[in-house]
Structure 1
Amino acid sequence: MKIIQGIKKTKESFVFKDSAQLKEPLVLVFGNRYMLESDDIYAEVKDLFPDGHIVFGTASGEIIDDKVLNDSVVLTAIEFEKSTIMVKRSNVKDHDNNEINLGESLMTEFPKENLRHLFLISEGSTVNGSALINGIEKVKDKNVKLSGGLCGDDDRFERTLASYNENPKEGEIVAIGFYGETLEITSANFGGWTAFGPERIVTKSKGNVLFELDGKPALDLYKTYLGEKAKELPKSALLYPLSVKSTEESEPLVRTILNIDHEDNAMILAGDVPEGARVQLMMSSVDDIVHGAYRAAEYAMRGRKKNPDLALLISCIGRKLVMDQRTEEEIEEVKSVIGEQAFISGFYSYGEMAPFNNQNECKLHNQTMTLTLFSE
């Protein structure tokens, strides 16, 4: 596996630490939304990698090595020496905003033989990530793992962009299939958030839209808890996500509020909130988040035969807001576990995709550190 990385600052060209000739590389480009809106961004990367498979995604902060950057674009180009990749894309508008159908359709485009892993870079501001994952899980083989994330837009929640071999645009979902018997790919996630306050029942919801808790408007209850911070919604909601437990036996999922519907007095979350689920508010500290990143890395490394050559990290914008000036500490913790040999890239997101520890089926998470580790 050959890897080179570069960084682009505003009104500057990409700067690369090392140089190498790569053949048909996978080129992952994560960056600030304003910079990826440039009409020239695809042409610029295409000039650097004429035969590259170029995948873009907007970020709420860019990760490269053990650094977290803002207002930049980070690029990681990977040539797989013994393995192959296939990239497919679709748009929610092509499927009448039905993410389940989109997920099913996208998955069927990938030949099954020797497919080891699927990595998703998805529109983050309008897509129901839970439904997208459910569609893929309906048709994919159980031995094929799935991970990825929802694109971010800092804490603005205005629009997110993604693309494959074209300028980034809204509504795009890009799937990267990894093929080859020599590939070792593992993924894991962990949060570090603690539930507090009374447990409430979801009495009215539809998909990822939450209307009522205990028969009362959910938004009114949430505003009561936030107090003065309610004026800063939806940004302030990132500091107090929801723990959602669908059944007594199920693992609790963390859900971030992406937007507010004042007309219907409802909250739009990154993933599904089924009726009958039990919900609690959550909070965290910097130390808890850092420890959560360490735990995620431990889970991702568990049982691996080789140390990873590449680590794709997707962490949540809510974690970044809590950590503030100490954000890089969670990346440093990950690096201390996976080793100095691994190239690290990634972004801060509106949602993370990975299975729970020791499970096969992928879920949408919020407020977690999610790792996908690669070696050949």
Structure 2
Amino acid sequence: MKAKSIKGKSPAAIATHLQESMADGFKPTLAVAFISIKQDFEAINKLLDAQGIIVFGATTAGEFIDGDLGDGSAVVLLMDMNPAYFRLECMHTGERTTRDIAQDIARIGQEAFEKPVFVVASGGLSTDGETIVEGLDDVLGADGAIFGGLAGDDFTMKATYVFSNQFNSDNGLVTLILDGEHVQVSGLATSGWKPVGTVRTITRSEGNVIYTIDDEPALDVIIKYTGTPKELSGSNDIISVASEFPMQLLRDDAPSVLRAPLFANKADRSIVCAGSLPQGSKIRFSLPPDFDIIDQVVADCKQIKETQPEADALIMFSCFARHMSLGPLVSEEIDHVKNVWNSPLVGFFCYGEIGKALTSHHDFHNNTCSLVVLKEVTQ
């Protein structure tokens, strides 16, 4: 499979780069498109559709190809993958739960391929990313192969979208289902955040809404621990807290996963996170990674390369809070990961990530970098 990445700051620029990429006879069948909410993503979607290209797309909180970070731009990974080796499924949530439609997508994948692999993107600011994983797990079991992320909207916190050829939704799922027998897929989810302080208990919660921690209002606990202003001025304050002091959800049977707040409710002092924090669960706050995090990420990628030495293309779902915390280092991290395989890479900064740590199965994460490595196998 051949893959090419393109970038532009308008539909016209993407159209030009698309034609240039196809000038040598390259005929892409599949596009992974990550587009700023500032762009006309519907126009770019239609442009790709007019070329007969299947689109897997999401809006972003920043986008990139290789180590080249975008600002209000569009990035597209073009692949000439055999159409028999993939299918694209789109579903609005509607009156059903995200978990319900994730179950449906899992069943479709099982019917389509003996060994399905799922790459999923979700729209909707209030979506609990954990329910996506739970719905897929309900059908696939813990051994399913699942990757993905929650769409962003450049920190406006108004609406996030996923889209495909004749579809866009601010509250639905777009899923790329791959034939794992013909497309070798591996991945890695890594964060680097380190737990600090005492263990605390989530004493009241409903899904991804946290009301009390140690029987104190959740927002007040965060303000006290992080030293942020007593009255937060808006969602950007919570995003700032999320980037520096995410919560680690401690688990007996698996490594901890990160949870970051997205919204604060000043009336009842609750917080809304991108993923669930079950009532009774234990947490610790975290500090940002050291500067050696890039070396650790590259070392982890090299372990993945031992089992998948070649890659046709790379897709990265990296948390927006990770970008805020690492600053310019995040570009270096992306570039180093790309260079492990020296293959075209596309990615975006999102509001939650799905991926697999080296020592556990797939999970929903925050403040994490989730990488997907693709290699088409011809038989």
Give the TM-score taking structure 1 as reference length. 0.90
Identity value in percent: 21
1:360-375 correspondence to structure 2 within 5 Å: 360=361, 362-375=362-375
Map 1:178-197; keep pairs closer than 5 Å.
178-179=178-179, 181-197=181-197
Q: Where do 1:1-376 residues align within 5 Å?
A: 1-10=1-10, 12-14=12-14, 15-16=16-17, 18-19=21-22, 20-21=24-25, 25-36=29-40, 39-47=42-50, 49=51, 51-81=52-82, 84-95=85-96, 98-110=97-109, 111-140=111-140, 144-166=144-166, 168-179=168-179, 181-229=181-229, 230-231=232-233, 232-238=236-242, 239-245=244-250, 247-285=251-289, 287-304=291-308, 306-336=309-339, 338-340=340-342, 342-360=343-361, 362-376=362-376
String of CA shifts for 1:144-187, please: whole Å, max 9, x gaps. 41111111122332211111213643112111111152321101
* Aligned structure 1 segments of 4 or more residues deviating by more than 6 angstroms: none
Q: What's the secondary structure of 2:370's corresponding residue?
A: strand
Over 3 Å counting, the alpha-carbon distance change for 1:143 and 1:284 in structure 2 is closer
Flag structure 1 segments of 5+ consecutive residues without an equivalent: none
Structure 2 letter corresponding to 1:353: I
2:323–2:330 Cα contact (<8 Å) kept: yes
Q: Which amino acid aligns with 1:54?
A: V
- CA distance in structure 1 between the partners assigned to 2:166 and 2:157 by the alignment: 23
Post-superposition offset of 1:369? 1.1
What is the CA deviation profile of residues 325-367 of structure 1, one whole-angstrom value per residue up to 9, with x for unaligned ones? Answer: 332111122123x222x1111111111101232434x210111
User: Distance in 2 between the 1:67 and 1:289 partners?
Assistant: 19
- Give the aligned CA root-mean-square deviation in angstroms: 2.2
Cα separation, 2, equivalents of 1:141 and 1:275: 24
CA distance in 1, matches of 2:11, 2:145: 38
1:373 Cα deviation (Å)? 0.3
Unaligned runs of 5+ residues in structure 2 are: none
TM-score, scaled to structure 2: 0.89
Cα distance change on mapping 1:166 and 1:288 into 2, 3 Å? farther
Cα offsets for 1:178-231 (capped at 9, x unmatched): 115232110111101111222211111111111111111111111122334544
Deviation at 1:319, TM superposition (A): 1.0
Whether contact under 8 Å (1:82, 1:182) holds in the other structure is: no
Indicate conservation of the 8 Å contact 2:137/2:144, yes or no: no
* Number of positions where the alignment pairs a residue of Structure 1 with one of Structure 2: 366
Letter in 2 for 1:71: G
